[in-house]
Structure 1
Amino acid sequence: DYTQSSGSVLGIELDPTSEMCDKLVAGALALDGTLNVTSLGGEFANGQVFDVLDWASLGGTFETVNLPTLAAGLSWDTSDLYTTGELRVVPEPATMSLLFVGLIGVAGLARRRP
């Protein structure tokens, strides 16, 4: 079991070159305080997934989650942190919108050609 109180900090290290990371495994996991995620070096890439938490039962959430800075066009998806324990590297929403608009434009051009 693991209990983290307000004001406490849990440190997790990620290695983007091997996609390995520290992982907190607990039967009962009670969260509060800060999750401080750091990089061991290297560049993160779109689609990388880091499984940082595993539990049998979960209570609470972190007050603050600090994540490493990513390259332009990438962002962190933390939506699964409290369901599967995963952090994901994804394209920034603006990047996805531009890609979608570009694909629509290409489809429109293909349709116009005789």
Structure 2
Amino acid sequence: MKFAFKSIVAAAAFVAVGAASATPYAGTWSVVSGSGGLTFSADALSALSASGSTVVTAGTIPTIAGLPGAGATNTAVYTKATGNVSLSFNTATITGDALTSLQAANSLVQIRRTTFNDDETTTTRSVFMANFDVNLSNSTIFANLYSRTDSGALVSYGKQAIFTADVPGVVGGTGGNIEVTSVGGGVANGTASGSLAGALRMNGDTANTVLSSLGLSTAATDPVATLVRTANWGTTNASGTFTAPAAAIPEPSTYALMGLGLVGIAAVARRRRAA
């Protein structure tokens, strides 16, 4: 019984310390809005130029059978002058106070390549990346991947890892952790921000799918294929605002007092045994 009592007190003290080190809103955050995106590097722009491809983000998602979000406003916007693809996030995955991923519904980026044929016709091949999911916990950007030739049937490859940072972790901003900015009216407000730590590399399988879908060689010795596979595709950034219900959530001091109370009970019990 003595061992069990001490174990209970120790466990309670551990919980109290852990609760005091996190915000009192951990696990109750919900996203209000988020933004961020990918800025292509000089390497990436060189890879696109060498392949004869261009990046396109239509204002409205085109009506193509099998493509999600047809007719919706595109939440991805590519600015050619800066090489930046901006994204508007509408949902998030949060663990405690840590922002683990941000999702951008109705986001669509198209890589398009048009070639001239011997009979003076043209062939347009496209790769579509839709519904981006920037996962901070595993340093990877996911998207649903599709391809299409001219006005033919859309080919779906499912959700794929598009880019992965070669150095894990989140840097800058709040490091991907939600920090409380204000509390009032029964609501806590918070913000989180950060960037993937390393250079972005295109996933090997994704690179092969993109190359073949655009009518390009996937050979290991092909210079364009090598550039696509080895390029530093750029940098990322993401930020968001969040809310949590402030009422009914104990402050860290409450847990600390609870721990002190249990320690006091243990001290009284020891004195009684000693007497």
TM-score range, shorter chain: 0.3 to 0.5
- In terms of fraction of residues, the more helix-rich structure is 2
TM-score normalised per structure 1? 0.35
TM-score normalised per structure 2? 0.18
